[in-house]
Amino acid sequence: MGSTALDDLSERLGAAVLTDPEAIAPYARDTSRAAPEGEPIAVVLAASTEDVSAALAWASAQGVRVSVRGAGTGLAGGAVGYPGGLVISLAGMNQIITIDPANRLAEVEAGVITADLDRAAQEHGLFFPPDPASARISTVGGNIATNAGGLRCVAHGVTTDSVAGLEIVLADGRIMRTGGRTIKDVTGLDLTSLFTGSEGTLGVITRATVRLKPVPEGAPRTFRASFAKIEDAGAAVAAIVSGPAKPEVLELLDALSVEIIESFHPSGLPVGDAAILVGQTVGPRAEADAAAILEVCAAHGSVASEISETDTLLEARRLSNPALNARGLRVSCDVGVPIAALAEMFLGVEAVARDHGRRVSTVAHAGDGNLHCTVEAGESADEYAAAETVIDDITRLALSLHGTVTGEHGIGSVKRHELAWQLDQTAIDVQRAIKHALDPSGILTPDRGI
Amino acid sequence: MGSTALDDLSERLGAAVLTDPEAIAPYARDTSRAAPEGEPIAVVLAASTEDVSAALAWASAQGVRVSVRGAGTGLAGGAVGYPGGLVISLAGMNQIITIDPANRLAEVEAGVITADLDRAAQEHGLFFPPDPASARISTVGGNIATNAGGLRCVAHGVTTDSVAGLEIVLADGRIMRTGGRTIKDVTGLDLTSLFTGSEGTLGVITRATVRLKPVPEGAPRTFRASFAKIEDAGAAVAAIVSGPAKPEVLELLDALSVEIIESFHPSGLPVGDAAILVGQTVGPRAEADAAAILEVCAAHGSVASEISETDTLLEARRLSNPALNARGLRVSCDVGVPIAALAEMFLGVEAVARDHGRRVSTVAHAGDGNLHCTVEAGESADEYAAAETVIDDITRLALSLHGTVTGEHGIGSVKRHELAWQLDQTAIDVQRAIKHALDPSGILTPDRGI
């Protein structure tokens, strides 16, 4: 690509194009372990849907590969820049257009920080259910593009369950709207769901209409149950989610995670048990629901428990990533299994760790059957590669239990070799046929996601 | 198409192909007002996924148009036979393969009657949430293909919210699986949601893995509130769905529907008010929740109310279709509006009816903002055409309130002219590009749905 072409792009977009390598560098990586294979040639700091449209029309015409990013907090390598490619950043499109309390809807630009939307909704007695661990730094658009999960999914579903409609720019620059403002709508194909979780492969999400929920009355309760056997905790989770008392959060921490989190930031987590379940109940019956959940735990062999009005337990849980990284547990996954297979999965992960002679921690969105297993690794490439083989074994174990290779982070580039482990070839072919139909030049996040 | 080609199909499938016009006739129509434009040439009574695969491979090779049906209860003309076309009936594929209580999943063939699945689930203390009014005669596969709604959507969402995975036969006969058995899964594009509600245009659903829920404890309660002004009922609905007491069912009947239903089958519905809300609460707090909902109604001007332990009110509601038909209200729609626009929509429908000088009844899944307006019409084509112009005005009214042309029945052939009223041209083009990518011969339910 000659400088004339780049000049043409800059001219169409004004000052919003970065071409200085030092300015570009921060936009070339995401938060995953995927390293860029080379530097992108420019970054478009989009300020409007029209900017995105102009940039994509240019990229399609030039055959330039495009990576798309909100805050760059993705964990699967989906937003890493392409060598000689264009980066489109939506971070500057951060306006909350409207909040409509009567219909419990919000219209936002893609670059709005997820926690900012939640805060704005709270002013109307509402909240935005999706809460990935990154909610304070990630964007609504990025959450939608990856169909992000989080701690509250056990009660409110994943991001797609909170998306009512999208504005999307296609690879050739055309702009379209999907979905709308109703609760039910079966007009045509469900493009909203198709683009949610499409990881930048089909189009660029520039705006979204999202669903809000009323903030429950009363003060929440956090609860904790400790187990001497991790498989008992797994069985307890399966019983809790089938029971009448519904937790809003239901997380599991194994012994290693508890010990590491507590040493990283002491907050009174009890150390030494095989596993603890921590969670939250909300609403006027929060106390009674927490007690009912702990009774289920007791019936499944829990050895200690507590109910608290403070958020300390969940705050400790939220520290797991920095705590694990600080202790050299660096290579992680986000596999999922059917809920009744949790106990077997937990034991299997321990067996994989023993076989490899490497420490592996497990922190799980247990109520969804979604595990984050993190493997210790030195900082060398060899060490990472060795840790990856542990992840591979854990992933194959999850699949043998009818699970999934990714419950919430996405395929990106990091897990692309695992696609065919889970999907049949026809399903892969169909996904690529859909992509080709919408992006015939193959410029949008190529060779990732699908 | 020569008889040789048909012989070839019969040979591949054995006795499962009907070619006698009298045998074919019952398979040429669905339950909508769409009339076949000519007779199909054959019906495949599929007994297996392989039968469907062979039939589609044959149809693709021959360029024969295919309509697909479960029980033929569709209301949008999606399953009407094509002149010279092939009909594939899934009704014979009616096996419940497994019920997995621990994971609250069931694996079923597409032709299983929805109520049969629900009944089988109840034996395990579980239930299947989707309950279109046709649940006793429609199939799970048909419900999925249309993303059917129903009475319980206000609590449990629409059909897509209960679908975990699908087995699909593509137009060329290839077989694929989508989704799986986990709660969260972001591996690749969300093909499960894409095919759910695709109305036979992208592939034929032959099996499904569906989600079940635990039957709530305790006896349900039904409740009723009467309103002197229909707009007050609309405002009450918006307040109820934002409140803490959640109904499982929340339906509205206007004065005309109440009068007609009560005269069709007297069951004690109070006649003479502008509108009534009838609904159901479930679980251990059913009585308290019903009382709380009726308090909201009172705050919004309800003039009478009752709570009952019997199902009489909802049974009366379920009779609305035959009752309206018996009194000459025959041409209906299923538009949706944002919940806060319900009051304005109800008044607007009354104004449309006055303008046209035709009686129009409104029965609504009010908690979802989804209305069934039914227009009186004589049996002549002219009368139907006149009634259609009323439906058109009601539909444009819904769209002017940011609504949808179809909340739960689908586009089919009956509403295809309305697609462009709601969707922008790019969204329509994208849908057709996806269809073309998956069905390049254009044999699968062509010129309908999208």
Residue of chain B nearest A212, judged by CA positions: B242
Residue of chain B nearest A284, judged by CA positions: B244
Note the pLDDT of residue A13.
87
pLDDT digits (tens, 9 = 90+) for A183-198: 999 999 999 999 999 9
Environment class of B140 (CB within 10 Å of its CB; exposed 0-12, middle 13-18, buried 19+): buried
Q: Is the dihedral of CA B111, B114, B116, B118 positive or negative?
A: positive
Contact B368 A184 (CB under 8 A): yes
Taking CA atoms, A403 is separated from A68, A370, B182, B193, in Å, by 29, 9, 6, 19
Answer yes or no: are the C-beta atoms of A373 and A391 closer than 8 Å: yes
Q: What is the ipTM score, two decimals? A: 0.97
Determine the topology of domain B96-214 in CATH. 3.30.465
Contact B426 A176 (CB under 8 A): yes
Report the alpha-carbon angle B260-B266-B267, nearest 5: 115
Q: Is the dihedral of CA B317, B318, B319, B320 positive or negative?
A: positive
- CATH 2.60.40.1180 assigned to domain B221-400? The reply is no
Contacts of A37 (CB under 8 A, 6+ apart): A82, A83
Note the pLDDT of residue A6.
87
Contact B368 A104 (CB under 8 A): no
Contact B186 A431 (CB under 8 A): no
Contact A187 B422 (CB under 8 A): yes
Answer yes or no: are the C-beta atoms of B159 and B144 closer than 8 Å: yes
Note the pLDDT of residue A2.
58
Note the pLDDT of residue B12.
86
Taking CA atoms, B39 is separated from A80, A272, A360, B204, B390, in Å, by 56, 74, 64, 21, 30
Residue of chain A nearest B425, judged by CA positions: A176
* d(C-alpha B414, C-alpha B435), whole Å: 19
Note the pLDDT of residue B2.
58
Contact A180 B402 (CB under 8 A): yes
Note the pLDDT of residue A48.
96
Q: Which of residues 274-303 of A touch B (CB under 8 A)?
A: 283-284
Best to test chain B binding among A152, A178, A182, A192 (most B CBs inside 10 Å) = A182
Q: A182: which chain B residues are within 8 Å (Cβ-Cβ)?
A: 336-338, 368-370, 402-404, 407
Q: Which of A15, A14, A162, A137 has the alpha carbon at shortest distance from A74? A: A137
Alpha-carbon gap: A157 to the closest alpha carbon of chain B (Å): 8
- Determine the straight-line distance between the first and last CA of chain A, rounded to whole angstroms: 27
DSSP conformational letter for B70: S
Contact B194 A189 (CB under 8 A): yes
Q: Is B411 on the interface with A (CB under 8 A)?
A: yes
Contact A369 B182 (CB under 8 A): yes
* d(C-alpha B26, C-alpha A279), whole Å: 55
Contact B191 A431 (CB under 8 A): yes
DSSP conformational letter for B129: -
Which stretches of chain A drop beneath a pLDDT of 70?
1-3, 15
Answer yes or no: are the C-beta atoms of A410 and A138 closer than 8 Å: no
Q: Which of residues 163-202 of A touch B (CB under 8 A)?
A: 170, 174-178, 180-191, 193-194, 196-198, 201-202
User: Would you kindly state where each structural domain of chain B is located, as residue ranges?
Assistant: 96-214, 221-400
Which stretches of chain B drop beneath a pLDDT of 50?
none
Contact B433 A437 (CB under 8 A): yes
Note the pLDDT of residue B4.
77
